[in-house]
Structure 1
């Protein structure tokens, strides 16, 4: 079992009322699955992804990740856990504008005390794998959307995560670029990486081995 969410609730208080973002979420995910989370805007998809990725806290319930009880961990331990095991791919790429492609891909390794020579080898490997060696000295603004997203994926993968969390990863891409990105996720999944994606696209959702539908913060069955 990679992760398990039990009776997760998340809410915000507004004018004395609780507004629920997630309601009684129960979810088990095995290693090697490819999960698609679907639902209308405001249904809690990104919130759920952020809770799984430990970027967001929740108010009630339990979350186990690789047998660690996440809600009992201190902030520092949680950060170490997600940096070691989770890679994020966002719709807006989140690349650092002032850094080159090479430096953007290298960033996660700087937090992990990887030796310089090893970092070079790992970045070279990623540049090679995604056919972007020729782009390594360019800045994000000099790349197309599809290329930026590929750099984002390379960066997410460099620390060899067990889990990739992708939030609308093809949202800003044209259909050909989007298809390339989805094929890439499929290939990574076949290599054993667990993938959880949030998507509006039926076509993208079908890449998943399982589709989870959210409505008003609840999983619909």
Structure 2
């Protein structure tokens, strides 16, 4: 892997991250907002990086049965959301976990980083992930890419690195083939009843017309998790082709 400022070569050779020829921020990831907290997972077998808002995981993914400490185990719940089954106990996950908490990226996960006694990713893996986050994620560059587009390591190393979050994502910068994920909410006190989709990290909510809902009109009630396209109209940006997604 040709990354500038690569840490100790022995650590780099130890890492299974070297198996990845390319990377992408997976399309189910949430858009970055520095005021929120996030939990992340990277698969060393695919190079896919998943990042979801922590509060969303807590509210929507139930904890594992017989878990003694409620309200935690975020990386385990993220694993369950992605793979639809709980991680096998005592099995080593071929990947890593990280998080964004109170404005700081942390590369520690007792649940997913079990191959390291400290629960922390090795320095080489931290460096690569931070480079990906700085270059693709926090400035929303990944949203402008087609959802299946992958970036190889040499191309990544040559890209301009942005270490500072700039602004909320704007819908005009989203690739036309990309679907977004959000939560339906009702605007209180509005008559007639107005329903929108809240998509964290964007500078606005997206209006839903009932004709845009494809599979279930009950999606128009608050709290539903949906996938949708965005379309620009004379009245502004609206959600289109709205469908329910798990959970």
What range describes the TM-score normalised by the shorter chain of this pair?
under 0.3
Structure that is richer in strand per residue: 1
In our comparison, the structure showing a higher alpha carbon Rg is 2
Q: Which has the higher helix share?
A: 1
TM-score normalized by structure 1? Answer: 0.27
